[in-house]
Amino acid sequence: MRYLSTRGAPSNAPHAAAPGFSEILLGGLAPDGGLYLPEYYPQVTTSELERWRELSYADLAFAVLAKFIDDIPPDDLKTLLARTYTPQVYGNGRSDSPASEITPLRWLERPNAASGEGGLALLELSNGPTLAFKDMAMQLLGNLFEYVLAQRREEINILGATSGDTGSSAEYAMRGKAGVRVFMLSPHERMSAFQRAQMYSLHDDNIHNIAVRGMFDDAQDIVKAVANDHAFKARYKIGAVNSINWARVAAQVVYYFKGYFAATSETAGGNAQRVAFAVPSGNFGNICAGHIARMMGLPIGRLVLATNENDVLDEFFATGVYRPRSSAQTHATSSPSMDISKASNFERFVFDLVGRDPAVIRKLWAEVDAGRSFDLSGTPSFARLPEFGFVSGHSTHADRLATIRRAFETWGVMIDTHTADGLKVGSELRSSEMPMVVLETALPAKFEETIVEALGRRPERPPALQGIEDLPQRVEVIDVSVEAVKAIIERELH
CA distances from 479 to 88, 156, 162, 211, 453 (A): 40, 25, 16, 8, 32
In the chain, the N- to C-terminal Cα span, in Å, equals 37
For 317-361, the DSSP string reads: HHHSEE-PPPGGGSPP-SSGGG--SS-TTHHHHHHHHTTS-HHHH
Distance CA 278, CA 415 (A): 14
* CA-wise closest residue to 324 among 284, 373, 366: 373
Chain-centroid distance of CA 401 in Å reads 24
In the beta sheet, which residues pair with residue 212? 187, 478
Q: Which of 67, 134, 177, 446 is catalytic?
A: 134
Distance CA 68, CA 486 (A): 33
Q: Is the Cα dihedral 159, 190, 221, 392 positive or negative?
A: positive
CB atoms within 10 A of CB 189: 11
Contact status, residue 490 vs residue 183, Cβ threshold 8 Å: no
* CA-wise closest residue to 223 among 138, 164, 174, 160: 160
Question: Which amino acid does the sequence have at 439?
Answer: L
User: Is 233 considered catalytic here?
Assistant: no
Distance CA 401, CA 293 (A): 32
Active site residues: 134
